[in-house]
Chains A and B, each alone.
Chain A
Amino acid sequence: MAGITTHVLDADRGRPAPGVRIEFSMMEGGAWRLVKSVVTNADGRTDKPILPGDEARAGQYQLEFHIDAYLKTKPGVTEADIFVDNPVVRFSVSDVKQHYHVPMLCTPGNCTTYRGS
């Protein structure tokens, strides 16, 4: 499967992070254009791929994870603990035949992303 998918994990609790808003944008003519805004499901994933394989184009993409609102709902987390500011992941798709899975692992003080599978 080609295209782009993601997965948001609450690494503080070792659980998926549901209800996280993700804004997906692509670079067009030197500016970021918002393509869609989605919310993670109970599994921390999106019900549909961020970008279906048949719509994949080579280019630059951006995922903005609104983890701030999510983290503030968690017991024991105060705003003073939150160091990571809604992380923005920018990446290039160079081969549209490949699948780009871009997970986000977050805690109030740390975030991690990588090309997954």
Chain B
Amino acid sequence: MNRQEWDRREPDRHALTRRGLVGAGIGGAAMAVAPGALAQAGPPPASPSQPGALTTAPVVQAGLGPRLTLHAIDNFHGTPGAGMICDLSIREGDAYRPIKTVTTGANGRTAEPLLLEDALKAGHYELLMHFEDYFAKTGATLPSPNFLGLVPVRFVIRDASQRYHLPVLFTPWGYSYYRGS
């Protein structure tokens, strides 16, 4: 295929991406047809993703005050991690003291920052993420109990005057988190 022929195929290629299928509301159905792909059948029905929802990050963060924000991204389905229950706690001595429980919205973020302004304190934090509950809601076919059930994400806030963004990229079999921006 020469370059011109390839270029003419562009619209078709885009239409066949997972995001395109999910955005059109047929991702689940299309995937369910494929043998062996059952475990990847669509995002959580209770919290449908929007087309391009992963691109709805704030455009400008400059000038914002200290805060801790979260973004859960489902790398299994290629969608925002919508409807993920997360328990935030802070270490006090040898134990973690619960602060709040939140659930991510359709864009994988929480409606409000996890911690804002004066509520953001230096310390050792844990965000306990309910992976097994999340993937059960998606209808994914996984072992029971799943490899990852309740996942502790531990991180340190050392300077309470800064902004901290915590993206968590996850599948039923692994996860990655980092200090984002």
Which residues of A come within 8 Å of B, CB atoms? Answer: 60, 79-80, 82-88, 90-92, 94-95, 109-115
Contact = CB atoms under 8 A, between A and B. Distances in A.
Contacts of A112: 174-176
A86 B154 contact: yes
Nearest to A94: B143
B176 A111 contact: yes
Contacts, number: 67
A114 B149 contact: no
A90 B177 contact: no
Interface string B161-181: 000100000010111111100
Nearest to B158: A80
Interface size range on B against A:
20 to 34
Contact of B154 (A87, A91, A95, A113): A87
Interface of B: 124-125, 143-152, 154-156, 158-159, 164, 171, 173-179
B174 A83 contact: no
Contacts of B175: 112-114
20 contacts: A80-B158, A80-B159, A82-B158, A84-B154, A84-B178, A85-B125, A85-B154, A87-B154, A88-B152, A90-B150, A91-B147, A92-B145, A92-B149, A109-B179, A110-B176, A110-B178, A112-B176, A113-B176, A114-B171, A114-B173
